[in-house]
Amino acid sequence: MALKIIGHRGSGRTDNNPFAAGIPPQQTLLSFQRAIENGADGVEFDIYLSKDKVPVIIHRKGAAELAISELTAAQISQISLPDQQHIPTLEETLICLAEMNARFPDKKLIINAELKGPGVVAQTLAVINDVAARHPLDRNQIFFDSLEWEQLAELRTLDPEARIMPALSTARLFNTARQPDAGGKYDQQVFRDLEDFIRDQDCCGIDVMTADIRPEMFELAERMGVGLFSYPQGPKPKEDAAIIQNNIGLLDEFSRRSGKEVILKVEDVEAARSILEDYKLGRPASVEKIERMMGMHLT
């Protein structure tokens, strides 16, 4: 099994993003469609609850200078976005992705849903069950992650078959407020907690930033028999270009060796594939490619 590359927030970030020209607004139906049409193996998105407990797809807990939790789903749908788009509900998104899966039958599209905010788990699961009963949606395509591990534990209680992955922030993994250098060491208590959580909750993977991957992470994943999901985010693309490219190559090698799902979430799928090809050919990836993959402005 080879490394799969999916679209982060659809076809890429468009908030404060100089690469946004010509890119549909992030986490909209058009963004998801465009990502898959452009070769992504799936998409990633975030889920919050509206005031009337409808799961909606948005990165942050606010929109139109109001908290999503203070707006009904109908009010949220009226928020105007470029390209005649709107903030979609989870139901709309899953139906859209089921239709895209039918258009590309050779792909089993990856759906990476990040759970955010209180009360989101039960409502998300209810929507998934409803859509799966009416549309050709394979629940095994859906991978759930969250920085709030209690959300995943709740999901495991409600759905013993759910595919769940604990997510790790840089701050938590290294117990630091600053981005560590390549020699930074994991907080060993956090690492032990991670292993315990994977075992106790029967997780299928770990979600970790690409620049934060150290040999111990691959060793843990291999020992526990789980995959890895990764996102090449970080404030130091120039300094971290080599480690990011190297870790992408190692992720691909781990996927082929382990047979587990290994997923890279990026802003630019073409740039990510080119970086992987550079790795295989022994060429260093340019900072420009790294920044495009990360959706950052070239400097």
Strand 66-67 and strand 110-115: the pairing is: unpaired
Q: pTM here?
A: 0.94
Write down the pLDDT at residue 17.
60
**Residue 206, SS3 per DSSP:** strand
State the angle between helix axes of 269-280 and 287-294 in degrees (0 to 180), rounded to the nearest 10: 140
Q: Which residues pair with 164 in a beta bridge?
A: 144
Q: What's the pLDDT score for residue 176?
A: 85
Q: What pLDDT shows up at residue 197? A: 98
Query: How does strand 227-231 pair with strand 205-209?
Result: parallel
DSSP one-letter string for 28-53: SHHHHHHHHHTT-SEEEEEEEE-TTS
Q: Which of the four CATH numbers 3.40.50.620, 3.40.50.970, 2.40.10.350, 3.20.20.190 does domain 4-294 have?
A: 3.20.20.190
Per-residue pLDDT of the chain (299 residues; tens, 9 = 90+): 789 999 999 998 887 665 556 789 999 999 999 999 999 999 999 999 999 999 999 987 545 556 888 899 999 999 989 899 999 999 999 999 999 999 988 888 999 999 998 899 999 999 999 999 999 899 999 999 999 999 999 999 999 999 999 999 999 999 987 777 777 899 999 999 999 999 999 999 999 999 999 999 999 999 999 999 999 987 677 778 899 999 999 999 999 999 999 999 999 999 999 999 999 999 999 989 998 998 875 43
Q: What integer pLDDT is reported at residue 299 of this predicted model? A: 39
Alpha helices in 10-109 (DSSP H): 29-37, 73-77, 90-103
Q: Are 230 and 265 in contact (CB under 8 A)?
A: yes
Handedness of CA 230, 31, 235, 149 (dihedral sign): negative
Q: Tens digit of pLDDT for each residue in 242-293?
A: 999 999 999 999 999 999 999 999 999 999 999 999 999 999 999 899 989 9
- Is the CA virtual torsion 48, 25, 79, 16 positive or negative? positive
Q: Which SS3 state, helix, strand or coil, does residue 233 take?
A: coil
| Dist. CA 92–CA 9, nearest whole Å | 15
pLDDT of residue 296: 77
Measured in degrees and rounded to the nearest 5, phi and psi for residue 286 equal -70, 155
- Please report, to the nearest 10 degrees, the dihedral formed by the alpha carbons of residues 233, 234, 235, 238 taken in order: -90
Q: What angle do CA 94, 96, 101 make, to 5 degrees?
A: 90
Which candidate, 4, 42, 1, 48, places its Cα nearest to that of 272?
Answer: 4
* pLDDT value at residue 68: 81
pLDDT digit string, tens, across residues 208-228: 999 999 999 999 999 999 999
